[in-house]
């Protein structure tokens, strides 16, 4: 198997994993709690005592969603790196190709095309 074919397979695998990971709900909730915390801090009618309580609650929820997103990113990194390491052990110079300008362009283009097709087909 050539380096380019191996890179294409890995790009499709990474795109499939990214499409299945629930990033959107956690990102949306994280941003929502950040906006609410800012609104509480800027409010003139909420006392400092209740601001401290509300901001702490929002901070804890933001921390929870940040940890979940970080965990998903770690899982994605492991899923994407294991095939690269296996290919490298098999003697294919996949990593240098994937980090070259041509490799990055090819992976980005193919991943975008695959994601569009995958979204349209279901």
Q: What is the pLDDT of residues 66-79, one digit of tens each?
A: 999 999 999 888 98
- Arithmetic mean of pLDDT, 24-45: 94
pLDDT exceeds cutoff 80 at 1: no
pLDDT exceeds cutoff 90 at 34: yes
**How many structural domains comprise the chain?**
1
Which structural domain, as residue segments, surrounds residue 112?
A: 3-121
pTM of the entire predicted model: 0.73
**pLDDT at res. 66:** 96
Residue 91, Ramachandran bin (φ over 0: left; ψ between -120 and 50: alpha; else beta)? left
What is the distance between the alpha carbons of residues 80 and 15, in angstroms, rounded to a whole number? Answer: 10
- Arithmetic mean of pLDDT, 6-16: 87
**pLDDT at res. 119:** 87
């Amino acid at each position: 198997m050539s380096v380019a074919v191996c890179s294409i397979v890995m790009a499709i695998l990474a795109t499939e994993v990214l499409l299945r990971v629930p990033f959107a709900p956690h990102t949306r909730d994280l941003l929502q709690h950040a906006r609410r915390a800012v609104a509480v801090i800027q409010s003139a009618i909420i006392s400092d005592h209740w601001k401290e309580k509300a901001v702490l609650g929002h901070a804890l929820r933001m921390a929870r969603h940040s940890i979940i997103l970080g965990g998903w990113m770690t899982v994605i990194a492991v899923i994407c790196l294991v095939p690269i390491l296996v290919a490298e052990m098999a003697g294919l110079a996949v990593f240098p190709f994937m980090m070259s300008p041509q490799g990055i362009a090819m992976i980005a283009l193919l991943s975008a095309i695959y994601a569009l097709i995958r979204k349209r087909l279901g």
